[in-house]
Amino acid sequence: MNILVTGGAGFIGSNFIRYLLDLSDEYFIINLDKLTYSGNLENLKDVKKGFSERYKFLKGDICDREKVRDIIKNYQIEAIINFAAETHVDRSIKEGSKLFIRTNILGTETLLSEGLSGNIRLYIQISTDEVYGSLGEEGIFTEKSVLSPTNPYSASKASADLLALSYFRTFGFPVIIVRSCNNFGPYRFPEKLIPLLITNAIEDKYLPIYGEGRNVREWIFVEDFCRAVYMVMNKSKLGEVYNISTGFQKRNIEVAELILKKFNKGKDLIRFVEDRKGHDWRYSMDFSKIKNEIGWNPGIDFERGLDDTIRWYSENSRWVKNVKSGEYLKYYEKYYGL
Ligand code: NAD
Ligand code: DAU
């Protein structure tokens, strides 16, 4: 199967490409990525070496209609998995929402409408628990819950979900939506909570915690999420939405304290800082639909995933240094002529 993976140089996309190529030789993958600040070809260095016949990277923007059309036609694309997005909530609040609207909504529209004229058998939209909005201390979201996003990032993701579903209803375009809780694991850009806390702990820097740190996030190890997407690709019904979550819910302060404990460092490294504007209190999703219909369950518990993640960041100090300094941008020119 020829698959167009978008945003494959980012955190989840790069983990997914590696997962799929390792798993089966049935797939030929085109990775279309704009290489924004969070896209990093270093995430895929080993993939490039081992799988050159089944993998190709193309630099480009999912909003570039002609490019998307040419790729779908020239590579006889049969499936599109859309990971590409502007993903950081704080940036959508502090730096403006325009880029989020452009990539997350208009980019999705481009893939859907260009996909219509190709021979696409499957389109997976990678979405988020944030589209449901915020919960208090009680409650859980199912796939039938009302969409009620609260920040520009989540509003753009909810819009993309609705647009994708409209393409299924109107045109019979083969859309499936997966909504994930918060992923963690190797190759995550260290502006997000877990990699930021780990890399700061390694460097004896303060761990910034918003407000009082009592907000709750639900965590999934990235390999578990990749396995879920793979199972959805192969077993699910078109036009459906699947929540992918774990029940591993933690307050942010608990995560910070656990990470410090793993490094044998004191809680005095924690700094409470100004809260995020409109900070969602808690996310929690019911994943019984994917469990019952597809047979997926989380396999890696939070602490085991955290240990693996800490090990990875500790052993990849060069990656961390390059990413934190922006140095990695130079690699594009050196290795890929981009
Ligand atoms: P990321 O920020 O690490 O990666 C995003 C990738 O998209 C980058 O490689 C970037 O260069 C690329 N990109 C951005 N704009 C583009 C454009 N216009 N054209 C082509 N490529 C572009 O993000 P991630 O954490 O890997 O998230 C991947 C997807 O999963 C996103 O759609 C996100 O909304 C969704 N998601 C993420 C999480 C999570 O916890 N990480 C949870 C739920 C859903
Ligand atoms: O839930 C899925 C979402 O998870 C994805 O859709 C988003 O793309 C992804 O960025 C992530 O969003 P969050 O806002 O949950 O992740 P973030 O790592 O930014 O923050 C996690 C929690 O930690 C949140 O309550 C804010 C808090 N936080 C975050 C940072 C960066 C801190 O307390 N301190 C920090 O420095």
Q: What is the pLDDT of residue 338?
A: 63
The domain segmentation of the chain, as residue ranges, is 2-188+221-251+280-300
Helices (H) and strands (E) in the chain, counts: 14, 12
Strand boundaries in 26-174, DSSP class E = 28-33, 55-59, 79-82, 122-128
Task: Tell me the pLDDT band of 332, cut-offs 50, 70 and 90.
Answer: low
Ligand 2: residue whose CA is nearest its atom 34: 209
Ligand with smallest separation from the Cα of 110: 1
Is 254 among the catalytic positions? Answer: no
Instruction: Give me ligand 1 centre to Cα 105, in Å.
Output: 13
pTM: 0.97
Q: Which residues line ligand 2 (CB under 6 A)?
A: 87-89, 128-130, 181-182, 192-193, 196, 208-210, 215, 217, 252, 276, 283
Architecture of domain 2-188+221-251+280-300: 3-Layer(aba) Sandwich (3.40)
Is it the case that residue 55 has pLDDT exceeding 80? yes
Task: Express each pLDDT in 269-326 by its tens digit.
Answer: 999 999 999 999 999 999 999 999 999 999 999 999 999 999 999 999 999 999 988 7
Task: Express each pLDDT in 218-266 by its tens digit.
Answer: 999 999 999 999 999 999 899 999 999 999 999 999 999 999 999 999 9
Q: Of all atoms in ligand 2, which is nearest to the CA of residue 215?
A: 25
Task: Express each pLDDT in 1-49 by its tens digit.
Answer: 999 999 999 999 999 999 999 999 999 999 999 999 999 999 998 886 6
Is it the case that residue 337 has pLDDT exceeding 70? no
Q: What is the pLDDT of residue 331?
A: 66
Inter-residue contact 233 to 319 (CB < 8 Å): no
Task: Tell me the pLDDT band of 50, cut-offs 50, 70 and 90.
Answer: low
- Strand 249-251 vs strand 241-244: parallel, antiparallel, or unpaired? unpaired
